[in-house]
Amino acid sequence: MSSARPSFRRRTAGATCLTLALAGVTTAGAVSAQADPIVDVQILATNDFHGRIQANGTEAGAAVLAGAVQQLRTENPNTVFAAAGDLIGASTFESFIQHDKPTIDALNAAGLDVSAVGNHELDQGYDDLLNRVMAPYDADSNPFGGAQWQYVAANLKVRATGDDAVPATWIKDFGDVQVGFVGAVTEELPALVSPAGIADLEVQSIVDTTNEEADALKAEGADVVVLLVHEGAESTDCAAMPTADNAFASIVNDVSPEVDAIVSGHTHLAYDCTFPVDEWAGEAVTERPVVSAGQYGYNLNQLVYSVDAATGEVAGVETGILPLAGAYPADPDVTTIVADAVKEADVLGAEPLGEIGGAFNRAKLSSGAENRGGESTLGNLVAEVQRWATEAPESGEAQIAFMNPGGLRADMVGSGTDAFPRTLTYKQAAAVQPFANTLVNIDLTGEQIKAVLEQQWQRDADGNVPSRPFLRLGVSDGFTSTFDANREEGDRITGIWLDGEAIDPAASYSVTVNSFLASGGDNFRAFADGANARDTGKADLAAFVDYMATFAADEPLAVDPSQQAVGVSFPADAPEAYEPGTTVAFDVSSWSMSAPGDVTDPELTVSLGDTVLGAAAVTTAAGTTPDDTIGTAAVSVELPADTPAGAATLTLTGAATGTEVTVPIEVTEPAKATPTLTVDAPETAVAWLQPARIDVSVETPDGTPTGKVTATIKGKKVDVDALNKKGDARLWAGPFQPGTVEVELRYSGDDATEAATTTTTIRVKSLWEVIFGGR
């Protein structure tokens, strides 16, 4: 084999090498007889657990997860329990309210060995991961940490030195067989956590660092190398993964053949795929598993490698997805941990905050899944809470607030299933915003606010479109905007208003966001460019608690179903200005909220001032793509004939939702009709020394013109007559010497009719012709 090629290890496999009998298990490779004893090494993997410690039917809970690992480890002691990150953070209330200590304790008890760092492990910053989560438990100095498993991330480096921020790899030694693990975190990390929290870190290439560390692990004697990567596929279609234009395709295609398996996460999907690693001439094709267990402890990935203990060669691998709920016993120790956590959380979270008058939902796709690309009643409420909480002078006198959709982790529906109003508890409010962000007030110009809105169409710092290409910001009361998604990137926002007044690009506005957004999180880098940034010290959840105490103390908090960002798209051939009496037509989108039960409008009305011009039916159908287009209408109205020229504003209003948005247009002077001038006798003959009578008719397509007709000869006015009610005029010219005279007739025009000219010829007879009738 050429030295220019990476090292390659032939792998074959066969059913005779393995004894697993599991539903849904797949086999990769082909069989060859082995004379030496085969060691079966089992890897059990989870990802995106997010503190789901309690069982709820679909989520097995931490006790069953631990019980499954214990049972499978008993069946095969050569077992590693591994994870692909996001074990903590964005957790359910029972874990969140106790700083994820119950999740850490439960996974310690379950025997978790190693995990990749996920983006949510860094929600509170690198210092928190290093000095709390990963630090040994201590009742005084570290009561909420103490993970006993090893976190790994080869592509996470200390910026100043280039050293590993956490260990890059970890090896499990089973005596005759060694299994090495490389960790990696998504390269989108800077956009997914507060940039301030990871300012000391550099996120490098997953593929490059993995390949380097995989070679090092093999050099150390690892027989099997597994990549634990917090990055994942966009769908469960195995065939589409290598051809997708995204980061995960690069991982699948470009990670070194020295990596025997890729255990992934981040996108919360469950899949069990295999892909050929190499097809060099004369070499067998290696099939590499690429797997994910989905989310929240629904499943475990199981990979069993058969390894020749004498040579270290991999003889085969079997993989499967193991559903957990109802399939394994609960571990008693973890059951106690969870019960204690729930008991404590019940005490902390049972306090009622007040009543809500309806469900405050996140945006939804037709599948029922959350849609971070849609506007929502919940997102707008949270933004308004944060504006209200910082409206005092000492907090910045906030005029506007924005909320990122990824910071909303649950719908806010209150207690029970009875009709609204319902009681909202501290626990339910905390489930919505579990990140404990503080509120930051900044000054942004109108131009910077527009840049923020343009960044809803996402680009990462390198200009790439991330896995979530569009994120719709929640906005506070009084802030509205229009957009046209069909326009060029950077020019999609077509109008911005605050309390009905257009935002001035040069003026400065006081804006509040959470600390995650303030440092440019979720690729909203324009926030980080603001001036006079001040951390108010107010926590987002505390602000919400105070808001409920103020506005829901005497009556339930009402849901505002109005849409704040509406799409308005004019056709490509639309005029720059409209004449009175002509039709104005455009398409409307994003008129409706998208969650089941959200209030929607069957139609919208279009007004010009106090005059209703018409209505347009609104079609609201559940969406399938992560954008904000739900609620569409085709508007077509006629401008009144007496509309004055200049700037005008159409107002779109929804009676049920209260949505109101303005659409500026320009009105031009009405086009004047083109008249037809007709001379009764285009060529008139008169006698010498006699005047000539010229009868003129002026006609237009739409009405009788007014004005005057002037006769001129060689630029000299000879007569003028006003049109009568029939549009006729009579003029006289002459007398003239014998010969021909050309007379120009000019109609002056009026408010509705253009001016026009024509000519007529007068032939003057000589005395001879008059007397004798001839020449």
What's the rounded Cα separation, in Å, for the pair 89 and 144?
13
Instruction: Please choose, from the candidates 297, 273, 318, the residue with its C-alpha nearest in 3D space to the C-alpha of residue 84.
Output: 297
In this structure, the chain runs to a length of 775
CATH of domain 352-551: 3.90.780.10
Q: Is 175 exposed, middle or buried (0-12, 13-18, 19+ CB in 10 A)?
A: exposed
State the CB neighbour count (10 A cutoff) for residue 414. Answer: 26
Q: Which residues pair with 308 in a beta bridge?
A: 38
Q: What is the pLDDT of residue 7?
A: 28
Spatial separation of the C-alpha atoms in residues 756 and 627, rounded to whole Å: 55
Q: What's the confidence (pLDDT) of residue 30?
A: 33
Strands 287-293 and 299-308: unpaired
Same fold, 352-551 and 565-667: no
Question: What does pTM read for this prediction?
Answer: 0.64
Q: Tell me which residue has tokens 């995990």.
A: 115
Provide the b/e sequence for 437-449 (b: ≥16 CB within 10 Å). bbbbbbebbbebb
For residues 504 and 446, the answer to whether their CB atoms sit within 8 Å is yes
**Quick one: pLDDT at residue 519?**
86
CA distance 231 to 233: 7
Architecture of domain 565-667: Sandwich (2.60)
Chain centroid to CA 308: 49
> What is the spatial order of strands in the sheet that 501-502 belongs to?
501-502, 493-498, 479-483, 565-569, 583-589, 633-638
- With beta carbons less than 8 A apart as the criterion, state whether 674 and 686 touch: no
Residue 77, number of CB atoms within 10 A of its CB: 8
Contact assessment for residue 709 and residue 720, using Cβ atoms and an 8 Å cutoff:
yes
- Nearest alpha carbon to residue 14 among 26, 30, 25: 30
Encoded tokens for 545: 């608690």
Write down the pLDDT at residue 766: 78
State the sign of the Cα–Cα–Cα–Cα dihedral 493, 499, 505, 509: negative
According to the model, what pLDDT value does residue 542 have? 84
Closest CA to 450 of 497, 403, 500, 488: 497
Sign of CA dihedral 436, 438, 439, 440: negative
Q: Is the peptide bond before 575 cis (omega within 30 degrees of 0)?
A: no
Q: What is the C-alpha radius of gyration for the chain, rounded to an integer number of angstroms?
A: 38
First-last CA distance in the chain: 117
Distances (CA, A) of 163 to 69, 150, 200, 404: 34, 17, 11, 33
Q: Give the whole-angstrom CA distance, residue 48 versus residue 65.
A: 13
Q: How far apart are CA 726 and CA 704, in angstroms?
A: 7
In this prediction, the residues of the chain whose per-residue pLDDT falls under 50 are: 1-35, 279-283, 775
In the chain, where are the structural domains located? Answer: 15-340, 352-551, 565-667, 676-772
pLDDT at 24: 40
Q: Is residue 721 a contact partner of residue 745, using CB atoms and an 8 Å limit?
A: no
Contact 419, 487 (CB under 8 A): no
Q: Tell me whether residue 661 is exposed, middle or buried, using C-beta atoms within 10 angstroms of its C-beta: 0 to 12, 13 to 18, 19 or more.
A: buried
Per-residue pLDDT of 149-202, as tens digits, reads 999 999 999 999 999 999 999 999 999 999 999 999 999 998 888 888 999 999
Looking only at Cα atoms, what is the longest distance across the chain?
A: 142
- Is residue 121 within 8 A of residue 136, CB to CB? The reply is no
Domain range 15-340, its CATH number among 3.40.50.300, 3.40.720.10, 3.60.21.10, 3.30.1130.10: 3.60.21.10
pLDDT of residue 285: 57
Give the per-residue pLDDT at 96: 86
- Could you tell me the two tokens for 147? 């993970």
What's the CA gap between 612 and 573, in Å, rounded? 25
**CATH number of 676-772, picked from 3.10.20.30, 2.60.40.10, 3.90.1150.10, 3.10.105.10:** 2.60.40.10
